[in-house]
Amino acid sequence: MTLPLLLLLQISGAQLYESGRFAEARDALLKDVRSARATAETHFWLGYVELALGNKPGAIQPFEAYLKSNPKDEDVLYALTRTYAQLAEMSLERIFALDPNSARAHQMRGIRFELEKEWPKAIGSYETALKLAPEMRGVWSSIARIYARELNDPARSRAAAAKEARQPSPSPGIALVEKKQPRDAFPHLLEWRSAEPRNADVYYYLGEAYTDLKVDTIQRLRTVNASSYRLHQVLAESYASTHRREEAIEEYREVLRLRPGLPGVQFELARLLTDSAPVEARTLLERELRIDPDHFLAKSLLGQLLVALHESEPAVPLLESALAARDSLSGARKALGKALVETGKTRVALEHLLRVARENPDDEEVHFVLAKAYRALGMPAEAAREITLHQQVTRKLDAR
């Protein structure tokens, strides 16, 4: 055995994780699990290693194993709750990726309209889903609930509920999800996904199961410490994901009261306040960048905010830095193009604006800014073309 290999075997999985060698850390930790040498610490680090490697499903079992002997660890309960929430979101997003016009996709739009309190639109989306898949379970119940609780129409509520009662009996996996027994449902759902990987229904029920586990883990965290900053943080994230903006803002403020320097929270709160309270959002983003100078999303949002506030000069280096870290930030690139036009660097701006227009041809604003840039460069024909495109896209958007 060579000396370097001997030294590697002596390095713990935790040390490998902390040095950023995640694949090696997983190998070392799994070796301990397979040899029955695993401790609670082994499972702790393995959960975080799986998250670092992007394997969210693989993080669940280690975290749950760790929590058996450390049930009051608020950080791990928070990490587990976030994992369940992200898996739910990924499962539901898969529905739209498979077919944005499927029955399940229309059902998801109905759910979104409910969250936004757009009751007629929600009912319309649900009815479209039922036209495409008349035997879909749960949708008539959603319609019945809206008529009963929101529109005060008991007759239509009873009619919808009666139609739900006539729907076919569920399969074992679906029945377990409906009974709020997600852990028991997973073997059935995963087998179903393996057999029909392009069936949107399985991703809907996986999303439901993961959501139930998220709710259960939030309750576990609340039981451990009802005043935990981690509880307020995960509630804020949950509210934000369901368009409950005011509740999310309140929870994020409580997190910052309890842990003022917690990384990431200033940014998340700023995202919710950018339109309604831009001055406060700016202060929050500046604080976030003092906590984490490499937070490229905070740089991107602050740069865009400064452009909106007509402070283009300080916005340019922020946006350039954000794009250097993540080239695909279209909003940052458009804002940079606008800032460069405003600061007289029009030819450099064109490169950014044209790329945005190629990638997002239905962005009416970029065509307007391009027209301004072409006029500044003395190119009237190109400016006129962009104004025409701006008007065409605007009419198309207004017609939706």
Q: Do domains 8-70 and 325-400 have the same CATH topology?
A: yes
Across residues 157-163, what is the average pLDDT? 97
Report whether pLDDT(197) > 90.
yes
CA dist 115 to 69, 243, 308, 343, Å?
38, 7, 29, 42
Alpha helices (runs of H) in 70-153, residue ranges in sequence order: 74-98, 103-115, 119-132, 139-149
**pLDDT greater than 70 at residue 70:** yes
Q: How many whole angstroms separate alpha carbon 143 and alpha carbon 166? A: 15
Residue 371 vs residues 330, 346, 353, 357, 364: alpha-carbon distances, Å: 19, 11, 10, 12, 11
Q: Tell me how far apart the alpha carbons of residues 189 and 171 are, in angstroms, rounded to a whole number.
A: 10
pLDDT of residue 5: 39
Tokens of 177: 């999800």
From the list 352, 350, 312, the residue with the least C-alpha distance to 333 is 352
pLDDT of residue 123: 97
- Two tokens at 69? 């002997």
The per-residue pLDDT of the chain, averaged, comes to 93
Kindly state the average pLDDT of the residues 183-195: 95
- Reported as a single tens digit per residue, the pLDDT across 290-316 is 999 999 999 999 999 999 999 999 999
pLDDT at 86 over 90: yes
Number of separate helices (H) and strands (E) present in the chain: 23, 0
CATH number of 8-70: 1.25.40
User: What does the pLDDT average to over 92-103?
Assistant: 96
- Tens of pLDDT, residue by residue over 314-362, are 999 999 999 999 999 999 999 999 999 999 999 999 999 999 999 999 9
pLDDT above 50 for 2: no
| Model pLDDT, residue 7 | 40
Specify the pLDDT at position 13. Answer: 82
pLDDT category at 11 given cuts 50, 70, 90 is low
Enter the tokens of residue 41.
């610490």
pLDDT band at 395 (very low <50, low <70, confident <90, very high): confident
pLDDT of residue 219: 97
Residue pair 296/322 in contact (Cβ under 8 Å)? The answer is yes
- N- to C-terminal Cα distance for the chain? 69
pLDDT of res. 9: 43
Return the exposure string of 309-327: e unless at least 16 CB atoms fall within 10 Å of the residue's CB, then b: eeebeebbebbbbbbeeee
Tell me what the mean pLDDT of segment 215-239 comes to: 97
Contact call for residues 47 and 66 (beta carbons, < 8 A): yes
- What pLDDT was estimated at residue 310? 94
Confidence of residue 242 (pLDDT cuts 50, 70, 90): confident
Does 394 score more than 90 pLDDT?
Answer: no
Among 23, 81, 92, 38, which residue's Cα sits nearest to residue 56?
A: 81
Residues of the chain with pLDDT > 90, as a percent, come to: 90
Which residues, including other chains, have CB under 8 Å from residue 7's CB and lie 6 or more apart? none
Alpha-carbon gap, residue 349 to 351, rounded angstroms? 5
At 1 the pLDDT is: 34
- Domain boundaries along the sequence of the chain: 8-70, 325-400
User: Which one-letter DSSP state was computed for residue 135?
Assistant: T
The amino acid occupying position 389 is L
d(CA 212, CA 209): 5
Each residue of 17-50: pLDDT tens digit?
Answer: 888 999 999 999 999 999 988 999 999 999 999 9
Distance (Å, whole) CA 138 – CA 142: 6
pLDDT band at 243 (very low <50, low <70, confident <90, very high): confident
Dist CA 392 CA 226 (whole Å)? 53
| Amino acid found at 114 | E
Q: Does domain 325-400 fall into CATH 1.25.40.10?
A: yes
pTM here is 0.87
Q: pLDDT value at position 381?
A: 95
- Residue 280, classed as helix, strand or coil, is helix
Report whether pLDDT(4) > 80.
Answer: no
Determine the 3-state secondary structure of 296 from DSSP. helix
Alpha-helical segments (H) within 166-276: 172-178, 182-195, 200-224, 229-241, 245-258, 265-273
274 contacts 281 by C-beta, under 8 angstroms: yes
Q: Which tokens go with 119?
A: 């009751």
Q: What is the pLDDT of residue 109?
A: 95
For residue 143, is pLDDT > 80?
A: yes
For residue range 258-285, list pLDDT tens digits in order: 999 999 999 999 999 999 999 999 999 9
How far is it, in rounded angstroms, from Cα 183 to Cα 216? 11
Q: How confident is the model at residue 400 (pLDDT cuts 50, 70, 90)?
A: low
